[in-house]
A and B are shown apart, each in its own frame.
Chain A
Amino acid sequence: EADIYQTPRYLVIGTGKKITLECSQTMGHDKMYWYQQDPGMELHLIHYSYGVNSTEKGDLSSESTVSRIRTEHFPLTLESARPSHTSQYLCASSRLAPYNEQFFGPGTRLTVL
């Protein structure tokens, strides 16, 4: 079944650790996105990609980085986690024209101690 997956679902980690949040989709979508969302709050776009080897920063400044080596995979990396990175991270991908509506993964809830 075509879907979008995120792992881990929950992560508690100490300050200074390097972490990678995984996102994979089996829908063949070329566009993928990472959002940061505090509980019950609005979404902030932090990274997006319109295809392999193409990545851009979003509206919200983030210390994370992303890569897009394969169409289906769009991991997000934090080189040195800090308590200010505590949040929920949502991955999404979008389908073809005209609507390009986004489909979301279940999210990763990150807590940095």
Chain B
Amino acid sequence: AQTVTQSQPEMSVQEAETVTLSCTYDTSENNYYLFWYKQPPSRQMILVIRQEAYKQQNATENRFSVNFQKAAKSFSLKISDSQLGDTAMYFCAFRVDSNYQLIWGAGTKLIIKP
């Protein structure tokens, strides 16, 4: 079965600190696509960053970057210089090449403290 595990239900850090959210997944497929989504309180779910499994280079989007370890099936999200607006639920998800449906993790609630 394909699964996603986010082992940190909740995290909190001070503003301007760096925080890393963990995500591990399980699949027997060789090619797949990984995503981090952000859901701010009472606001719309938005895509933060994406990574294709056969690309070795880690994806970056401004202050957001990933550490993709294919052998370990790990896809962690690093947020640098955290801001109050980063407070949100963060969901890790992936889909395999043969299926359009996303497999979702349970989410990590991230709180940025002023």
Contact = CB atoms under 8 A, between A and B. Distances in A.
Interface residues of A, number: 23
A30 to B, nearest CB: 10
Interface in B12-42: 33, 35
A31 B95 CA distance: 14
Contacts, number: 47
A103 B47 contact: yes
A112 to B, nearest CB: 20
B105 A100 contact: no
A101 B91 contact: no
Given A94-B100, A104-B44, A99 B106 contact: no
Contacts of A98: 33, 52
Contact of B101 (A40, A42, A48, A103): A48
Given A33-B101, A42-B104, A48-B101, 8 more contacts: A40-B89, A40-B107, A58-B101, A98-B52, A100-B95, A101-B47, A106-B43, A107-B44
Interface of B: 33, 35, 43-47, 50, 52, 89, 91, 95, 100-102, 104-107, 109
